[in-house]
């Protein structure tokens, strides 16, 4: 999987998946095009974080420094982010696929987030996985405290994204 190319080792992980009655190409297209701000929960959680909640597509997440690091058509898309997520401003770094792989500055963390599609007979599984690698002991402790609070909300956003994609694809 592409996610393994970008973050094979990590300190924190969260996964969610859903079964969808649609083919991989349809699901992939919907995931690329859908505006997640249709969900009141997603919009509200983005607003709480001080982020714009309009036009929330996977492409538009670039305005929050998420970058699409790689894609395999109709199978997987990987987004990445580097920063000090546990701080108020986040100190997010501008990255691309290669600089993400090379980034190794103490005091920061790297995060990847994917959507992967697996055809399974009549149904197709859409999975999202979030991995975080902290680049030193202190950042791991700081992120760990932050993760205890933010993880339920992060997970809720991803669950709502999966359900929104399912609704649109079916």
- pLDDT by residue for the chain (170 residues), tens only, comes to 999 999 999 999 999 999 999 999 999 999 999 988 888 888 787 776 666 667 778 887 888 888 999 999 999 999 999 999 999 888 999 999 999 999 999 999 999 999 999 987 777 999 999 999 999 999 999 999 999 998 999 899 999 999 999 999 99
Give the integer Cα–Cα distance in Å for 34 and 153: 20
Could you tell me if 92 and 103 are in contact, meaning their C-beta atoms sit under 8 angstroms apart?
no
The structure's pTM equals: 0.92
Residue pair 155/148 in contact by the 8 Å Cβ criterion: no
Three-class DSSP category at 152: helix
The pLDDT, as a whole number, for residue 38 is 84
Query: What's residue 51's pLDDT?
Result: 66
Asked whether the beta carbons of 139 and 106 are under 8 A apart, the reply is yes
Rounded to the nearest 5 percent, the helix, strand and coil shares of the chain are 40, 30, 30
pLDDT recorded at residue 29: 96
Residue 65 pLDDT: 85
The predicted structure's pLDDT at residue 67: 95
CA distance 108 to 128: 23
pLDDT in tens, 68-82: 999 999 999 999 999
Q: Which domains, from first to last, does the chain contain?
A: 2-169 (3.30.530)
SS3 170: coil
pLDDT of 46: 75
Residue 119 and residue 21 in contact, taking contact as beta carbons nearer than 8 Å:
no
Strand 67-72 relative to strand 12-20: parallel, antiparallel, unpaired? unpaired
Residue 82 has a pLDDT of 97
């Amino acid at each position: 999987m592409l996610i393994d190319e970008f973050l094979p080792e990590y300190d924190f992980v969260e996964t969610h998946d859903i079964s969808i009655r649609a083919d991989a190409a349809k699901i992939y297209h919907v995931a690329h095009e859908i505006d997640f701000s249709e969900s009141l929960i997603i919009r509200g959680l983005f607003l709480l974080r001080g982020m714009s909640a309009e036009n929330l597509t996977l492409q538009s997440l670039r305005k929050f420094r998420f970058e699409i690091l790689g894609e395999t058509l109709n199978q997987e898309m990987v987004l990445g982010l580097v920063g000090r997520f546990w701080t108020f401003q986040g100190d997010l770094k501008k990255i691309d696929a290669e600089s993400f792989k090379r980034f190794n500055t103490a005091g920061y963390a790297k995060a990847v987030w994917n959507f992967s599609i697996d055809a399974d007979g009549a149904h197709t599984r859409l999975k999202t996985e979030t991995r975080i690698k902290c680049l030193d002991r202190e950042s791991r402790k700081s992120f760990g405290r932050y993760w205890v609070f933010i993880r339920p909300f992060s997970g809720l956003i991803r669950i709502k994204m999966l359900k929104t994609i399912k609704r649109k694809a079916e």
